[in-house]
C-alpha cells in the first residue's frame, strides 16, 4: 500500500502530496490545469486569501511555514468604510499577536508545488482532466488537454482534492452502490473581483494592514492587500431583485452610478472601474457538503472537494490545510513507519475514523461562513454589534487568557475544533447581545464584572441547550 494518486494540485492537493511524500509514499499528483508556474491563469478565482493559524499549522507540519510567511501581509482587523468615506478599524482580537494574513493564492500554490517537486517520490502531471473514477478499484481516467487522449491511472488509494466542482465527488454522486448524502447551496449573491492598483511608488492607496469592508446591508465590497501595493477587491452583490444587482449593472453608467453612490472612496482608487467590472466574470457563492467522504476504502475526498464553503470567514484554505493535519495524525497513529510497510492497512477504517472526527468541524465552519456573510454585510454597520465587538475586544485585551470571541475561537484557537468554537462562540454571542439588549450591562460595572456576567449567561445558555438537545 504505497502508491498514492492525488487528483487536484491546488492548495490542498499540493500540500497533501508534499506531506504524503514526506511520509514515504509514492505520490502521483495530477492537475487538470496547466502548471501555474508557467502559465498565467486563474481568471475569476480569488487571487489572494486569508491565511490564519489553522492553515499555518498545516504548512508547519510540512516544513514550509517560514517560506510561506514571506508571502504574507498581516491584517490586524477589519477596516470599516462608511458611505461618507469615514473609516474605523475593528481589531480581530484584543490580543496583539492575533491577526490574519493576506496571501497570494498562486504564490502559495507555486511554493507548495516547488516543495513537492523537490521530493524524489512525487510525480506531478499537469493538463490531465479527471473524467471518471472507478471507485471500487482505485483507478481514474484522465483526458490529456493537449493530445485529447485518455489515460487510466491505478493506485492503492486515491485522494480527491479537486476542489468545489470535484470530478471525484461526481463519481461518488453518480455511483448507486452506496447512499451518498450531498448538498450544494448557493447564496443569492455572486461575486466579482476588481483591482485597486498600487500607488506610484508601489505604495498602498489605503491602509495596508487590514481587511477592508464597505458594508452596505445587502451588498458589500471587501479588499485585501497584495505585496505589490495593489489590493484585490471583491464585490458581493445580489444576482437579481435589488435596486443594484448583477442583472441590472449592465452599462458603465449604471456601474458608476452604483459605485458613486455606495463606494465613493473606492471610485477614486480604481481608475478603470468599468473596464475592470465588465472584464471580469461573475462567480457564484456555494456551500458543498457530502458524506461519506470515502468510497469502498479506496477513495477519499479532502479539502473543497469534501466541503466547499463561502469565503466570509476566511477559512476555506485554512480548513483544507487543517484536513491534512488531522488526516496526518491518523496516519501517525496507524501507520507510523516511514516509509510505510506494505500490507495490512485498513484504509477504510482510517478514512471513516477521520470523517467521524472531522466532518462535524467542516460542517461547522461551512455554517459559520454563511453566518458571517450576514454579519459582514449588515451587522458590522449595526450599533448593537459594534457595542458587542468593542466589549469583546476589551475583554481580550484586559483578560487575554480568559476570553476568546467567536471570531478568535474560530480563527486563532487552533487547539479547539471548529464545532466547539461554533457552539461556544454562538452561545457567547447570544449571551452578550441579550445582555446588551436587556440593559443588563451597565456603565457602573467594572470590565471584570461584565466578563463574569457574560460567562455566567453563556454557561446557562449552553446548559439549557444541552438539556433540550443533548
Minimum distance, C-beta of residue 164 to a second copy, in the bound complex (Å): 13
Which residues, numbered 200-239, are part of the site for a second copy (CB under 8 A)? 239
Q: At what angle do helices 316-334 and 11-22 cross, to 10 degrees?
A: 20
> DSSP assignment of 183-218, as one string?
EEEEEEEEEEEEEE---TTS--SS-SSSEEEEEETT
Minimum distance, C-beta of residue 343 to a second copy, in the bound complex (Å): 25
Tell me how many residues contact a second copy (CB under 8 A). Answer: 24
Minimum distance, C-beta of residue 204 to a second copy, in the bound complex (Å): 35
462 makes contact with a second copy (CB under 8 A): no
Residue 225's contacts (CB-CB under 8 Å, 6 or more residues apart) are: 48, 73, 75, 102, 204, 208, 209, 231
> Toward a second copy, which CB reaches closer, 250 or 272?
250
181 makes contact with a second copy (CB under 8 A): yes
The C-alpha torsion from 458 through 462 and 463 to 465, rounded to 10°, is: 140
434 makes contact with a second copy (CB under 8 A): yes
> What x-and-dash track marks residues 267-306 binding a second copy by CB under 8 A?
-----------------x-x--------------------
Please select the residue that binds a second copy; options are 182, 253, 271, 272, rule is CB under 8 A: 182
- For the chain, the straight-line distance linking the first and the last C-alpha, in angstroms and rounded, comes to 41
145 makes contact with a second copy (CB under 8 A): no
- Given the rule CB under 8 A, which of 152-160, 323-331, 432-440, 445-453 is the region that contacts a second copy? 432-440
Beta bridge partners of 300: 159, 294
> Toward a second copy, which CB reaches closer, 185 or 260?
185
DSSP state of 305: G
> Toward a second copy, which CB reaches closer, 253 or 464?
464
Beta strands in 292-374 (DSSP E): 294-295, 299-301
183 makes contact with a second copy (CB under 8 A): yes
DSSP H or E run through 440 = none
Please, is 140 exposed, middle or buried when counting C-beta atoms within 10 Å of its C-beta (0-12, 13-18, 19+)?
buried
Whether cis (ω within 30° of 0) applies to the bond prior to 145 is no
The answer to whether 392 and 405 are in contact (CB under 8 A) is: yes
- Given the rule CB under 8 A, which of 122-130, 148-156, 183-191, 258-266 is the region that contacts a second copy? 183-191
Phi, psi at residue 180, to the nearest 5°? -115, 110
Q: At what angle do helices 447-469 and 418-437 cross, to 10 degrees?
A: 120
Minimum distance, C-beta of residue 305 to a second copy, in the bound complex (Å): 17
> Toward a second copy, which CB reaches closer, 147 or 181?
181
Please select the residue that binds a second copy; options are 184, 202, 250, 341, rule is CB under 8 A: 184
- Given the rule CB under 8 A, which of 48-56, 60-68, 341-349, 431-439 is the region that contacts a second copy? 431-439
Minimum distance, C-beta of residue 370 to a second copy, in the bound complex (Å): 12
Q: How far apart are CA 233 and CA 266, in angstroms?
A: 10
Q: How far apart are CA 122 and CA 145, in angstroms?
A: 21
- Largest Cα separation within the chain, whole Å, is 75
Helix count (H) and strand count (E) of the chain?
A: 14, 19
- Given the rule CB under 8 A, which of 42-50, 300-308, 396-404, 430-438 is the region that contacts a second copy? 430-438
433 makes contact with a second copy (CB under 8 A): yes
Residue 308 CA, distance from chain mean position = 8
> Toward a second copy, which CB reaches closer, 198 or 282?
282
Please select the residue that binds a second copy; options are 43, 349, 437, 445, rule is CB under 8 A: 437
349 makes contact with a second copy (CB under 8 A): no
Interface residues with a second copy (CB under 8 A)?
Answer: 179-186, 239, 284, 286, 426, 429-430, 433-434, 437-438, 461, 464-465, 467-469
Amino acid at each position: 500500500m504505497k502508491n498514492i494518486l492525488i487528483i487536484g494540485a491546488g492548495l490542498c492537493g499540493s500540500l497533501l502530496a508534499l506531506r504524503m511524500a514526506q511520509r514515504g509514499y509514492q505520490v502521483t499528483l495530477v492537475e487538470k490545469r496547466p502548471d501555474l508556474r508557467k502559465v498565467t491563469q486563474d481568471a475569476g478565482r480569488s487571487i489572494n486569501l486569508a491565511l490564519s493559524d489553522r492553515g499555518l499549522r498545516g504548512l508547519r507540519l510540512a516544513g514550509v511555514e517560514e517560506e510561506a510567511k514571506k508571502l504574507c501581509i498581516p491584517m490586524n482587523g477589519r477596516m470599516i468604510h462608511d458611505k461618507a468615506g469615514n473609516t474605523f478599524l475593528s481589531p480581530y482580537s484584543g490580543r496583539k499577536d492575533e491577526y490574519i494574513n493576506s496571501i497570494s493564492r498562486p504564490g502559495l500554490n507555486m511554493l507548495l508545488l516547488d516543495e513537492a517537486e523537490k521530493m524524489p517520490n512525487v510525480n506531478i502531471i499537469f493538463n490531465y482532466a479527471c473524467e471518471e473514477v472507478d471507485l471500487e478499484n482505485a483507478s481514474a481516467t484522465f483526458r490529456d488537454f493537449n493530445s485529447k487522449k485518455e489515460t487510466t491511472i491505478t493506485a492503492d488509494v486515491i485522494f480527491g482534492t479537486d476542489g468545489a466542482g470535484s470530478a471525484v465527488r461526481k463519481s461518488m454522486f453518480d455511483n448507486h452502490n452506496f447512499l451518498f448524502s450531498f448538498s450544494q447551496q448557493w447564496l443569492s449573491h455572486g461575486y466579482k473581483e476588481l483591482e485597486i492598483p498600487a500607488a506610484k511608488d508601489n505604495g498602498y492607496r489605503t491602509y495596508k494592514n487590514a481587511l477592508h469592508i464597505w458594508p452596505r446591508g445587502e451588498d458589500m465590497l471587501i479588499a485585501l492587500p497584495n505585496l505589490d501595493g495593489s489590493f484585490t477587491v471583491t464585490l458581493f452583490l445580489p444576482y437579481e431583485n435589488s435596486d443594484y444587482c448583477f442583472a441590472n449593472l449592465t452599462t458603465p453608467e449604471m456601474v458608476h452610478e452604483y459605485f458613486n453612490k455606495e463606494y465613493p472612496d473606492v471610485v477614486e482608487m480604481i481608475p478603470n472601474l468599468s473596464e475592470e467590472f465588465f472584464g471580469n466574470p461573475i462567480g457564484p457563492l456555494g456551500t458543498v457538503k457530502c458524506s461519506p467522504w470515502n468510497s469502498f476504502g479506496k477513495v477519499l475526498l479532502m479539502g473543497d472537494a469534501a466541503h466547499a464553503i463561502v469565503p466570509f470567514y476566511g477559512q476555506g484554505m485554512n480548513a483544507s490545510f487543517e484536513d491534512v493535519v488531522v488526516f496526518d495524525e491518523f496516519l501517525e497513529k496507524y501507520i507510523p513507519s516511514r516509509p510505510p510497510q506494505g500490507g495490512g492497512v485498513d484504509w477504510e477504517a482510517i478514512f471513516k475514523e477521520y470523517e467521524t472526527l472531522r466532518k462535524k468541524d467542516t460542517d461547522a465552519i461551512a455554517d459559520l461562513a454563511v453566518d458571517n456573510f450576514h454579519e459582514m454585510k449588515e451587522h458590522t454597520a449595526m450599533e448593537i454589534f459594534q457595542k458587542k465587538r468593542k466589549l469583546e475586544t476589551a475583554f481580550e485585551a484586559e483578560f487575554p487568557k480568559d476570553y476568546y470571541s467567536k471570531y478568535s475561537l474560530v480563527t486563532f484557537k487552533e487547539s479547539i475544533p471548529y464545532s466547539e468554537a461554533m457552539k461556544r462562540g454562538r452561545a457567547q454571542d447570544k449571551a452578550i447581545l441579550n445582555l446588551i439588549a436587556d440593559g443588563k450591562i451597565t456603565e457602573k460595572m467594572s470590565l471584570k464584572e461584565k466578563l463574569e456576567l457574560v460567562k455566567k449567561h453563556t454557561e446557562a445558555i449552553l446548559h439549557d441547550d444541552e438539556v433540550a438537545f443533548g
